[in-house]
Amino acid sequence: MRTPATREHIADTAVSTADEFFTVLSPRTGDWGGAASKWVFRGQADANWKLLPSAMRAVNSTNPFGQVGVRDSQDMQKRAATSAHWSLRVDRLNLMLDFLEDALNDQGLAIPADSPATTRRMRIEANSLPVREMFPLMALAQHHCLPTLFLDWTRRAWVAAYFAAVGAATALKLPRKSRLSGAKRATHLAVWALRRNEGREDGSLQPYFYEAPANTNPNLRAQSGLFTWWISDGTEDLSLDEYIAWLARKWNRNIGLRRFLLPVIEAPRLLRLLALEHINGATMFPGVDGIVRAMRERTLWDDWEDAAQPADSAKNTLTIKSSAGSAATSKLSKSDRRSARRARVVADTRPNRRTRSGSP
């Protein structure tokens, strides 16, 4: 299986098994130059995907803001017909944040803010630095799947691995006919690692980092999340990996971007290994919805119930302890084997089971 093509100024590390991947990302055993805390991580189900925030994806064919009810004014429609300007995207973002702020207020929900109040006069101006007071609201929008200029990262490499693994394992379950026409199935998932504090506050180097207040964003808190953002000064949209390559050429220095690669066929096992470390849907998304996520994720794991059996046990043999303690074996039919597997699943998921793993 061929690994994805290398990219300029990006250091790739490719491994072949989930166990190796799990180890190489560990803050204790990974190669982080003795400063694991200075790195942030992002997981993606397809290693070929660029590092693009949701507001910058597919702008030439689809307006991501239109998919959440943001309608262009006549002036914006004219500008959209010519090119995808940065200012046009920012105008759409402002309209979406207006609606979100009004909706939160109407429902009596807290409007996140670094300062005591967030007002409509605070805007992200085209080709200038975003006003910081709007960042908490944009962070909330980002964690509820609204398009923004933020790109999600986490301080924990295994959390990034979770998001890569769950996306890749889900894609493996999809029937071939359900994929988009012409779309190729990913061969590798990726965890990206970016070294922090490479940029300077005067703006001569980007990207910038932002850590939103976690008191109104439980998902962000659970995921140890933070964000990057950068500014496009023209009509051309550069992904973060492309932008960092441009910075590296401009400043003749290594910005510190790495990509860890794993074949997607290993995603189910990686997802199970992470669950054993209490990294699953329930811990990443606090609440009942997260618990349901974790329950569904178990169906994506590798063959965990068979793996739990002794290596020398045959698949079609059931070992039964008699009351005297002696063991007897009997051949099972195909339907009986299915019933036995279901029984093991039920027993393993009982709430009062003392030997249960961290997943629900």
Q: Residue 192 pairs with which residues in a beta bridge? A: 42, 259
**81 and 164 inside one domain:** no
pLDDT reported for residue 259 = 95
Evaluate if residue 4 carries a pLDDT over 70: yes
Could you give the CA distance from residue 172 to residue 174 in angstroms, rounded to a whole number?
A: 6
- Point out the least confidently predicted range of 51-55, 124-128, 166-170, 186-190: 124-128
Q: Measure the CA–CA gap between 282 and 199, rounded to whole angstroms.
A: 35
Work out the average pLDDT over 87-91: 76
Domain check: are 71 and 99 in the same one?
Answer: yes
- Mean residue pLDDT across the chain: 75
Residues 185 and 258 in one domain: yes
Q: Check whether residue 194 and residue 130 sit in a common domain.
A: no
- Are 93 and 177 within one domain? no
Read off the pTM. Answer: 0.73
Residue 307: inside a domain: no
Percent of the chain with pLDDT over 70: 68
Tell me what the mean pLDDT of segment 307-325 comes to. 41
Q: Per the domain annotation, does 94 fall within a domain?
A: yes
- What gap in Å lies between CA 104 and CA 164, rounded to an integer? 31
Q: Is there a single domain that holds both residue 94 and residue 140?
A: yes
The per-residue pLDDT for 114 is 60
148, with CB counted inside 10 A (0-12, 13-18, 19+), is buried
**Whole-angstrom distance, CA of residue 42 vs CA of residue 28:** 18
Are 215 and 350 in a shared domain?
no
Looking at residue 84, what is its pLDDT?
55
Examine the pLDDT at 254 and tell me if it is beyond 80: no
Does residue 308 fall inside a structural domain? Answer: no
Q: Are residue 133 and residue 166 in the same domain, yes or no?
A: no
- Count how many domains the chain has: 3
pLDDT band at 345 (very low <50, low <70, confident <90, very high): very low
Say if residue 91's pLDDT is above 50. Answer: yes
Examine residue 329 and state whether it is found in any structural domain, yes or no: yes
Reported as a single tens digit per residue, the pLDDT across 184-236 is 789 999 999 998 865 444 445 567 888 887 787 889 899 999 998 887 655 46
**Site of tokens 């669950």:** 275
Q: How far is CA 186 from the centre of its chain?
A: 16
Confidence (pLDDT) at 131: 66
The per-residue pLDDT for 355 is 38
pLDDT for 313 beyond 60: no
The predicted structure's pLDDT at residue 174 = 81
Q: Given pLDDT bands bounded at 50, 70 and 90, which one contains residue 341?
A: low
123 and 216 share one domain: no
> 56-83: per-residue pLDDT in tens?
876 445 678 877 878 777 777 766 666 5
